[in-house]
Structure 1
């Protein structure tokens, strides 16, 4: 077996990354890249399960852990640059990058291995807990019970979102406070905020977590008929995103009863948020069948309730610990065949 390596953690920024190396001659490849602080070669330290040292090309302090015969884990800094440098050096030393992620897991079958691959793209602690539970369930599932398959397929969308965020689009007329709401929900200022209507000329998106669920908040351009060509291009993008969003939030101004656009609420709006309630004693609350939330992005009034409403809207039912959930296309197709 040739010496192989594979990034075991998600390929992205983090505190720590882990790169697996295996195959006869692995210690020799590591000798060419890694210098233990003891001054000895790595291959001479066969009796040490954990070796601390320096990665030659970057000067980074890291740890190499022996996990079996000719099998090792390089535990390094979680930056992309650090991982890419290790991959480059291992390849230069004769190792081959493995594309078979499943073979690096403890999976009992290919469907369980799909969950292991999904874990590499996990975004929050809450979704990680669900995926760990699914890893166990997919190793024990009874594929002779159509009812199990039918129940699992009810959570197809939920399973897809465990590895990609729910997209939430905030739409509405200019200057109703969409950018300010995005900033409060994210906990820092990302979108441009200005008193001039139409300041947000393009789509601004930010990834965050709400109630532990990964979400992408999209601050759309204010939708209006007038405006220059640049603004209109942003508005057209916003209309396209609204059609594909997992949740549409229609933001209106509590001080302006003309800021409500009935057409927007008819177009898949899930929540109507009445912003700026701190500026008036009697907010202009539109008549609509959609749930309405009264908030102030400035004072924070109603923001906790808004986050709870968003969480309920994107995940109306949270599957129990013993509920099978498909997290990949392969799993979904297998369940459809059984059901």
Structure 2
């Protein structure tokens, strides 16, 4: 019998309401001890809301609340579950929570409610992960992708993939039972065709890794260049607000300034850095060092150059940088600018007038997603880095099975590789997940979820 757990499901601090959750076989008994109203929680029809008071050990009234009962298995966790909605003060909420603990519940671990939902078959592991993805989504696009995964889109893809692998294993079992016959050419061709089809299915899922990881983790852009190249102005343009101080005096920005932005529906962290130049000023020198470190750690580096001061071909600051020529509003339209390095394309913009900013956003999206905003589509299934690792292991084992079949090796050897591939795929939805993997996933959740 699992212990009865409790936690605050709403954020800590003051608010209009606070919700305390209790789940487990003793949830109703705990509620009966602390709730006084016209009905005992254990006798209430499920999903019915009742009004009453929470009392402490000395029968002192702690709060007037609304209480809702959910009977197993028709609850979030698949267990008996009680939700207490009270006033959202920090003190009163902590006292209600303390009353549930004194009545026999224990404090839930981070993610334990969702972990129980997974263990009780209410969610597969991809759906459980989607709960946290939805909570932590930084853009509407990321939230939408999390909802699709919560609905089971990715889980359905993975179960389909597992069925395809199981069919291959079952096909092999017949040859393992009759080893003297071996795998005839016709059956081998059918099996090879099936395995190649599975490999193509895995490839289609792996393609979504960039999208999925970007939506979950976002990407960091460092704005780099000489002093007064317009880095702060570009940051303000991308954010749509005046976040960085803009001044004609070189060296205005002396430390890195960071802010979050949504570009094309994807979460980005934009870093405005100090101008890169040699300087005797110890404070500015420290800013330059921090700027270089931020740029090296960033996922994408944008090198800004002042068009009005360009005299020679621009020298790259970093490998794989995006070269942007700014302040085109200060340049005569008939003037010839020095060409960019042969290895780079450049984009002409003006942070002052907004010229080229839309094209810059498109170029950034192409660089990080391999497509433009107009081409981007919301996949029904976008995998995470954990899913990608599982699928890559599954693909390695599957490719080895294909190699063994082509070499005419015994079916037992093929079956070993196919079962390894099947186990790796199963870990995605939690059908074959080691305990430490599950612990790592749910420990990242907030308490009460």
* TM-score strictly above 0.5: yes
Q: Distance in 2 between matches of 1:33 and 1:286?
A: 77
Q: Aligned in 2, Cα 1:261/1:202: closer, same or farther, shift over 3 Å? A: farther
**Matching of residues 126-275 of structure 1 within 5 Å:** 126-135=141-150, 136-140=152-156, 141=158, 142-143=161-162, 144=165, 145-258=198-311, 261-264=314-317, 266-269=318-321, 271-275=322-326
Q: Is 1:326 the equivalent of 2:393?
A: no
Q: Deviations over 1:103-133 (max 9, x none)?
A: 3467543344333343332221101222233
Residue 281 (structure 1) aligned to one of 332, 338, 347: 332
- State the partner residue of 1:122: 137
**What's 2:100 paired with?**
93
Q: Which has the larger radius of gyration?
A: 2
* Matches for 1:79-90 after TM superposition, within 5 Å: 86=93, 89-90=96-97
By how many angstroms is 1:328 displaced?
4.1
Give the aligned partner of residue 442 of structure 2: none
Q: Is the 8 A contact 1:107 1:113 kept in 2?
A: no
In structure 2, list runs of 5 or more residues that go unmatched. Answer: 56-61, 73-79, 166-197, 396-449
Secondary structure in 1 aligned to 2:294? helix
Summarize deviations over 1:191-250 as a string: whole Å, max 9, x none: 122221111111100011111100000111111111422222222222223223222111
Aligned alpha-carbon RMSD (Å): 4.2
* Residue 102 (1) aligns with residue 131 (2): no
Q: Bigger CA drift: 169-178 or 114-123?
A: 114-123
Q: 1:96 to 1:297 in 2, by over 3 A?
A: same
Q: How many residues align?
A: 327
Q: Which of residues 331, 341, 347 in structure 2 aligns to 1:293?
A: 347
Partner of residue 336 from structure 1, selected from 385, 392, 397: 392
Is the 8 Å Cα contact of residues 172 and 261 (structure 1) preserved in structure 2?
no
Tell me how far 1:66 sits from its aligned partner.
4.1
Higher-helix-fraction structure: 2
Change (3 A) 1:188 1:259: farther
Which is worse superposed, 86-95 or 150-159? 86-95
Judging changes above 3 Å, is the alpha-carbon distance between structure 1 residues 275 and 119 closer, same or farther for their aligned structure 2 residues? Answer: same
The 10-residue stretch of structure 1 (15-24 or 122-131) with the greater mean CA deviation from structure 2: 15-24
Structure 1 residues 73 and 211: CA distance shift in structure 2, 3 A: farther
1:293-312 alignment runs, 5 A limit? 293-312=347-366
Whether the aligned pair in 2 keeps the contact of 1:159 and 1:325 (CA below 8 Å) is yes
Contact kept? 1:6, 1:21, Cα under 8 Å: yes
From the superposition, tell whether residues 87 and 286 of structure 1 become closer, same or farther in structure 2 (CA, over 3 Å): farther
Partner SS, residue 194 of structure 1: coil
CA contact (8 A) 1:146 1:338 kept: no
C-alpha contact 1:252 1:260 (8 A) present in aligned 2? no
Q: What's the counterpart of residue 194 of structure 2? A: none
- Which secondary structure does the structure 2 equivalent of 1:147 belong to? helix
